[in-house]
A and B are shown apart, each in its own frame.
Chain A
Amino acid sequence: MPNVLIASLPYLLRGAIVTLELSAVCALLASAIGIIAALAQSYGGLVARGIALIYLYLMRGTPMLVMVFAAYYLLPYVGINVEPMTGGVLVVSLYYGAFMSEVFRAALASVPRGQWDAGRALGMHGRWLMGIVIVPQALRLAGPPFINTCIMLVKGTSLVSVIGLVELTLSGREVVERTLAPFQVFGGVALIYFVICYSLSLCGKALEARLPHAH
């Protein structure tokens, strides 16, 4: 029976590569969105803060599956015909951008006030103060929760399988339809996800151990 899994492994691995690519692109975009949203929420004017809050509330309060289907059903109505890959990247990035923003916001907030004062006492302000004193320390603090959010994101990419993007999960479903061996195949799919996510969490631990404590 395990040879079902071995025979279909190349096909599953091709799906795993799509999952990895999708995750990498989305992690980058989500981080960018997260940083912008965190800055808007913490230091923005009234309008920027309002937009950021609505975005965060919407993403955190609704299931990602709703967003996935919304992209699938709604975008064609307004004349945007997106491929599953584009739609997937869009939804996953926007959704996890909200969680990334929380990671960065918390990190910014946990840099002690004294560091701001120290920077100002040295005559720094604005971009200098942020760039040299605050952001480097905040990035250190953001490390472990950032990795956790990346793991969530990798798992979250499985949802775009429902709109026909052939990544790891949908590859698994296709193989099951052919081989009728769901335990082996989905067990194998889960194992591949495990390898990806567990490696990420090991990276996170190594990162945590190596970074000196801020301040």
Chain B
Amino acid sequence: MRFDLDMAARAIPELLGGLAVTLELSVLVIALSLIWGVVLVVGRLSHLLPLRLACAGYLQLVRNTPVLVQMYFFYFGFAMAGLRLSGFEAGLLAMVLQNGGYMSEIYRAGIENVGARQREAGLALGMRPFEAFRIVIFPQAVRLVLPPMTNQFVAIVKDTALVSTLSAADMMFRARLLIDRTAAAYEVFADLTAMYLVLTATIALLMRAAERRLGR
């Protein structure tokens, strides 16, 4: 068994075809879960007890079940109910529901760590509650929120590989097709691993640059 460099080079364009799907899914999941997380954290911090409880319950539910099972639930479930979701759509739905929950926890930790005193100080200066949030809390919370968010983004990119089990043609899916066709498992896995490493390292670097920017 030897490593065939030529084969490894020829596998790269095939995998790059899947990179578009992986990237598209990652970007959509990140954008939508950032938004869904805001909705959830507003509910979580609201004055209405039922809303607060509902959001806390939702969070426990998505946090304590595997995202793969959630994907199967939507993919096979909706198909049986007559509403056919593609593997991409079912994966997107499950990942946004789960990661939105994680995002809301990251927001909450950020807001709570800035502290009630800061808010009170803003109110004492005559700001309205929303102004106190926008001017005092938010800029400080953003800095606290970036490091855990980086971890979550990396986790999202890695989790997108799961949609390959629902026949969405991402990098993982193309890699498996390629191995079935060529039997060059070593070469293809080396390429695939390297591409995921580059992808996740890029995110980590970009986020660190953002941290430095905002840290000043």
A-to-B contact residues, CB < 8 Å: 57-58, 60-66, 69-70, 73-74, 77-78, 151, 155-156, 158-159, 161-162, 169, 172-173, 176, 180-183, 186-187, 189-190, 193-194, 197-198, 201
- Whether A77 pairs with B185 at a CB distance below 8 angstroms is yes
Task: Give the CA-CA distance A86 to B172 in the complex, in Å.
Answer: 22
Among A73, A78, A193, A201, the residue within 8 A (CB) of B1 is A78
Chain B, interface size category, equals 35 or more
The 12 sampled A-B contact pairs (Cβ below 8 Å) are: A58-B197, A61-B197, A63-B158, A63-B159, A65-B164, A65-B172, A73-B185, A151-B64, A186-B73, A190-B73, A193-B64, A194-B61
- Whether A61 pairs with B201 at a CB distance below 8 angstroms is yes
Is B196 in contact with chain A by the CB < 8 A criterion? Answer: yes
Majority-rule SS of A interface residues: helix
Name the B residues within 8 Å of A161 (CB-CB): 68
Name the A residues within 8 Å of B154 (CB-CB): 60-61
User: Would you give the shortest CB distance from B178 to chain A, in whole angstroms?
Assistant: 11
Name the A residues within 8 Å of B68 (CB-CB): 158-159, 161, 169
Task: Give the CA-CA distance A151 to B68 in the complex, in Å.
Answer: 15
Among B63, B65, B79, B186, the residue within 8 A (CB) of A77 is B186
- Whether B66 pairs with A62 at a CB distance below 8 angstroms is no
**Knowing that A183-B81, A197-B63, A197-B64 are A-B contacts, what are 11 other residue pairs whose CB atoms are under 8 Å apart, sorted by A's residue number?**
A63-B158, A66-B196, A69-B175, A70-B189, A73-B179, A73-B185, A77-B186, A172-B69, A186-B76, A193-B65, A193-B66
B-to-A contact residues, CB < 8 Å: 1, 60-61, 63-70, 72-73, 76-77, 79-81, 154, 158-162, 164-165, 172, 175-176, 179, 185-186, 189, 192-193, 196-197, 200-201
Take A62-B197, A181-B80 as given contacts and tell me if A155 and B67 are in contact as well, using a CB distance cutoff of 8 Å.
yes
- Whether A62 pairs with B80 at a CB distance below 8 angstroms is no
Name the A residues within 8 Å of B61 (CB-CB): 194
Q: Which of B1, B61, B68, B159 has the most CB of A within 10 A?
A: B68
The 3 A-B pairs of least Cβ separation, nearest first, read A182-B76, A197-B64, A63-B161
Q: Which of A62, A77, A159, A197 has the most CB of B within 10 A?
A: A62
Name the A residues within 8 Å of B172 (CB-CB): 63, 65-66, 69
Name the B residues within 8 Å of A159 (CB-CB): 68, 162
